[in-house]
Amino acid sequence: MSKFQAPKGVSEYFPPNSLQFEYVRDQLINNAKVAGYSLIELPMFEDTEVFTRGVGESTDVVSKEMYTFEDRGGRSITLRPEGTAGVMRSVIEHNLDRGQLPVKLFYSGAFFRAERPQAGRYRQFYQVGIEAIGYNDPEIDAEVISVADSAFKALGLKNYKLNITSLGDAKTRDLHRKDLVKFIAGLDLDESTSERAKLNPLRLFDDKREEIRSKMQGAPLILDYLSVESAEHFSKVKQLLESLKIDYFVNPRMVRGLDYYTGTAFEFEHELLGAQSGIGGGGRYDGLMGLLGGSDLSGIGFGLGVDRVLMACQAEGCLPESINPLQLFIVAISQEAKSVAFKLVSELRTLGVTCDMAYGDRGLKGGMKAADKSGALCTLVIGDDEISSGNCDLKIMKSGENVSSTLKASELVVKLGNIK
Q: What is the pLDDT of residues 237-252, one digit of tens each?
A: 999 999 999 999 999 8
Query: What is the reported pLDDT for 54?
Result: 81
Q: Answer yes or no: is pLDDT of 146 > 90.
A: yes
Q: Which residues contact 337 (CB under 8 A, 6 or more apart)?
A: 382, 383, 384, 386, 387
In this model, does residue 203 exceed pLDDT 70? yes
Q: Is the pLDDT of residue 407 over 70?
A: yes
Q: What is the mean pLDDT of residues 383-392?
A: 94
Q: Is 151 helix (H, G, I), strand (E, B) or coil?
A: helix
Residue 257 above 80 pLDDT? no
Q: How far apart are the C-alpha atoms of 76 and 58, rounded to whole Å?
A: 19
pLDDT at 258: 62
Strand partners, 163: 249, 267
Residue 185 has pLDDT above 90, yes or no: no
Give pLDDT, residue 259.
Answer: 65
Sheet holding 124-133, edge to edge: 38-39, 103-112, 124-133, 299-305, 278-284, 262-270, 160-166, 249-250
Q: Helix H segments across 361-408?
A: 364-374, 384-389
Contacts of 214 (CB under 8 A, 6+ apart): none
Quick one: CA dihedral 291, 296, 300, 301, positive or negative? negative
* Section 3-28 average pLDDT: 92
Quote the pLDDT of residue 82: 93
pLDDT of residue 165: 95
310, pLDDT greater than 80: yes
- Reported as a single tens digit per residue, the pLDDT across 55-86 is 877 677 887 889 999 999 999 999 999 999 99
Query: With 70 as the cut, is the pLDDT of residue 12 above it?
Result: yes
For the chain, what percent of residues have pLDDT higher than 90?
66
Other beta carbons less than 10 A from residue 210's beta carbon: 8
Q: Assign 38 a pLDDT band (cuts: 50, 70, 90).
A: very high
Closest CA to 122 of 248, 305, 301: 305
Q: 284: which residues sit within 8 A by CB, 6+ positions away?
A: 136, 141, 167, 261, 262, 263, 264, 265, 298, 299, 300
Calpha distance 184→178 (Å, rounded): 10
If we measure between CA atoms, which residue out of 403, 328, 388, 323 comes closest to residue 358?
A: 328
pLDDT over 80 at 120, yes or no: no
Domain 328-417 bears CATH identifier 3.40.50.800 = yes
Confidence of residue 213 (pLDDT cuts 50, 70, 90): confident
pLDDT at 32: 97
258 or 388, which is more confident? 388
Asked whether the predicted pLDDT for residue 182 surpasses 70, the reply is yes
98 burial type by CB count under 10 A (0-12 exposed, 13-18 middle, 19+ buried): exposed
Mean pLDDT of 175-202: 84
Confidence check: pLDDT of 1 > 70: no
Calpha distance 242→229 (Å, rounded): 20
Question: How confident is the model at residue 192, as a pLDDT?
Answer: 83
Q: What is the pLDDT of residue 231?
A: 95
What is the domain partition of the chain in residue ranges?
17-169+227-316, 328-417
Which region among 168-172, 353-357, 410-414 has the lowest average model confidence (pLDDT)? Answer: 168-172
Task: Identify the residue with better confidence: 218 or 148.
Answer: 148
pLDDT at 112 over 90: yes
- Number of H helices and E strands in the chain, helices first, is 15, 16
Nearest Cα neighbor of 277 from 162, 116, 151 is: 162
| pLDDT on residue 118 | 77
- 66 touches 79 (CB < 8 A): yes
CATH number belonging to the domain at 17-169+227-316, selected among 3.40.50.300, 3.30.590.10, 3.40.190.80, 3.30.930.10: 3.30.930.10
- pTM score: 0.89
Q: Which helix (H) or strand (E) holds 39?
A: strand 38-39
How much is the CA Rg of the chain, to the nearest whole Å?
A: 27
What confidence tier does 217 reach under pLDDT thresholds 50, 70, 90?
confident
Q: 267 falls in which pLDDT band (50, 70, 90)?
A: very high
Average pLDDT over residues 386-403: 94
**pLDDT (average), residues 105-126:** 89
